C-alpha cells in the first residue's frame, strides 16, 4: 500500500470517527429521553421512579402523554395512589406548561378514570399556584373537582 493510500484511509477513518462522536453528542438528549420514556413501563417501581424523575428534570414535553398513559393503565395495577402522587404528579409539575394541554384533555373527558381526573385536577391546582396555567384550565379544574366531590371525590 502506498503512502498516499494510507494517508487517505486514515483521513477517512478519522472523519468517520469524528462524525460518530458528534452524532453521539448531538443526539444524546433525545436518546436519554427515549430511554427514560421506555423505562416508565418497567415492572420495577424504582426504575419507574427514576424515569419519571429524570423526565421531569429534563422538562420533557414528549414524556407527558406516556406519563398519562402509564398512570391511566396503572391506577389499579403497578402503582398505587401514593406512587402516582410521587412519580407521575411531580414529573408533570416539573415539566410545566407543556403538560397543561394533555392534562386539560384528561379533565375534559368524563370517560377517563375518576382517580386520574382527580389527580390531574390536583396537578393543575399546583401549577395554578405556581402561575403556570391559564385561567380557562383553572376553571375546568375547579369544575371537575366540584363534580367529583359530589361523587365522593376530594375537596378543592
* Inter-residue contact 42 to 48 (CB < 8 Å): yes
pLDDT per residue as tens digits for the range 82-139: 555 567 788 998 998 888 889 888 888 888 888 888 888 888 888 888 877 765 666 7
How many structural domains comprise the chain?
Answer: 1
Domain coverage including residue 91: 29-150
**Which pLDDT score, from 0 to 100, does residue 155 have?**
44
Q: Specify the pLDDT at position 85.
A: 55
Is 24 part of a structural domain of the chain?
Answer: no
92 in any annotated domain: yes
**Residue of 54 and 130 predicted with greater confidence:** 54
| Structural domain includes residue 145 | yes
Kindly state the percentage of the chain with pLDDT values over 70.
79
Phi, psi at residue 60, to the nearest 5°?
A: -75, 105
Q: Report the sign of the C-alpha dihedral through residues 54, 64, 120, 70, in that order.
A: negative
Amino acid at each position: 500500500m502506498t503512502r498516499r493510500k494510507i494517508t487517505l484511509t486514515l483521513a477517512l477513518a478519522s472523519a468517520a470517527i469524528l462524525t460518530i462522536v458528534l452524532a453521539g453528542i448531538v443526539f444524546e438528549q433525545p436518546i436519554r429521553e427515549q430511554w427514560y420514556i421506555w423505562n416508565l413501563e418497567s415492572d420495577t417501581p424504582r426504575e419507574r421512579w427514576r424515569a419519571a424523575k429524570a423526565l421531569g428534570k429534563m422538562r420533557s414535553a414528549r414524556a407527558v402523554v406516556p406519563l398519562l398513559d402509564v398512570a391511566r393503565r396503572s391506577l389499579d395495577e403497578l402503582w398505587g395512589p401514593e406512587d402516582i402522587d410521587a412519580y407521575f404528579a411531580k414529573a408533570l409539575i416539573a415539566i410545566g406548561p407543556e403538560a397543561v394541554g394533555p392534562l386539560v384533555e384528561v379533565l375534559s373527558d368524563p370517560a377517563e378514570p375518576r382517580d386520574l381526573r382527580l389527580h390531574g385536577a390536583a396537578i393543575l391546582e399546583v401549577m395554578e399556584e405556581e402561575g403556570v396555567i391559564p385561567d380557562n384550565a383553572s376553571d375546568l379544574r375547579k369544575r371537575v373537582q366540584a363534580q367529583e366531590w359530589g361523587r365522593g371525590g376530594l375537596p378543592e
